[in-house]
Amino acid sequence: MATRGGLRLLSQSIARGRLAAFLLGAGAALAALLSLGAVTAQTAESITVSSTTSTEQSGLFRHILPIFEKKTGISVKVVAVGTGQALDIGRRGDADVVFVHDRAAEEKFVAEGFGVKRQPVMYNDFVLIGPKADPARVGGSKDVVGALKKIAAARAPFVSRGDRSGTHAAEMRFWKMAGVDPRTGSGSWYRETGSGMGPALNSAAGMNAYVLADRGTWLSFKNRADLVVSVEGDKRLFNQYGVMLVNPARHAHVKQKAGQAFIDWLLSPEGQAAIGGYKFDGEQLFFPNAGGDA
């Protein structure tokens, strides 16, 4: 018959065995969780979107992307450059989706086989910004072409993005309509910055100059100095944004499924509501119009 001491030793031995088994099981469970986390981190979907600076600098992406990412688990990296550069990024296959605002360039991108399909997403408008002193006497006009003629005639300071962006493309169309080649004044009254919308507005504020801007970036811009909206309301100032999937037939590494999921969400009632719901100081910056250009 076992002694009390022997029973005590047996009990302690069993307890130690149970503890060891528990620790072994806990360790295995922890290792499994860590392994699952590593696999999840490796397989989490992510896409790259090349877009214009106006969607980034206006704050739109900061508003809508968290909604999309929470719903789908797909993270989005935005490369914000001028529209021309954004399309070039797509041509090289360095993005999965292109989201820009130069319809002619977008349609060419698709026609050349770099994009699958161009679809309208939203719009706002361009505005001609100028100094309160208004040396060209264009304030209050609704004629952007006539205003540019007056600016050129007065040789009033004008800042151009000069970066192949959608805004720069629109500006050059308007100069052409006005019958003016502004580059003849390059370095004197006409200054090309080669920069995004925010920096161009900063330059205009510093030089007390006129500049063409998209309304979204202007409304969210803080360093206005003596700048005001000089010309607005011209139907030619309409500013449409479109989205395209980079063609996976051209670049096999394009994340077609995740990229299309982002496009589908932008065009869905939820995505359109998120775009329309973005406001700055109570003003709506973009107006959803999936399904057709206005």
- Give the model's pLDDT for residue 12: 53
Q: What is the mean pLDDT of residues 234-254?
A: 97
Q: Is the pLDDT of residue 7 over 90?
A: no
Percentage with pLDDT > 90 across the chain: 81
Q: How confident is the model at residue 223 (pLDDT cuts 50, 70, 90)?
A: confident
Q: What is the mean pLDDT of residues 198-221?
A: 94
Q: Is the pLDDT of residue 235 over 60?
A: yes
- Mean pLDDT is highest, among 25-29, 54-58, 261-265, for 261-265
Rounded Cα–Cα distance for residues 294 and 172 (Å): 22
- Mean pLDDT is highest, among 5-19, 27-41, 272-286, for 272-286
Q: Is the pLDDT of residue 43 over 80?
A: no
Q: Beta-strand (E) ranges in 166-262?
A: 190-192, 210-214, 227-231, 238-245
- Give the model's pLDDT for residue 14: 45
Q: How confident is the model at residue 70 (pLDDT cuts 50, 70, 90)?
A: very high
**CB-based contacts of 212: which residues, under 8 Å, 6+ apart?**
126, 127, 128, 129, 160, 167, 170, 171, 174
- Give the model's pLDDT for residue 222: 86
Q: Across-strand partners of 210?
A: 158
Dihedral (C-alpha) 39, 41, 47, 50: value to the nearest 10 degrees? -150
Lookup: tokens for 77: 């990296």
pLDDT digits (tens, 9 = 90+) for 8-34: 544 555 455 554 454 455 455 444 444
* Selected residue with higher pLDDT from 7 and 176: 176
Q: Do residues 138 and 284 touch, judged by C-beta distance below 8 A? A: no
43 CA to centre of own chain: 25
Q: What is the mean pLDDT of residues 196-201?
A: 93
Q: Do residues 182 and 145 touch, judged by C-beta distance below 8 A? A: no
Domains of the chain: 46-123+240-288 (3.40.190.10), 124-237 (3.40.190.10)
pLDDT digits (tens, 9 = 90+) for 135-165: 999 999 999 999 999 999 999 999 999 999 9
Q: What is the mean pLDDT of residues 42-52?
A: 84
Q: Is the pLDDT of residue 288 over 60?
A: yes
* Selected residue with higher pLDDT from 21 and 214: 214
Q: Do residues 159 and 210 touch, judged by C-beta distance below 8 A? A: yes
Model confidence, pTM: 0.81
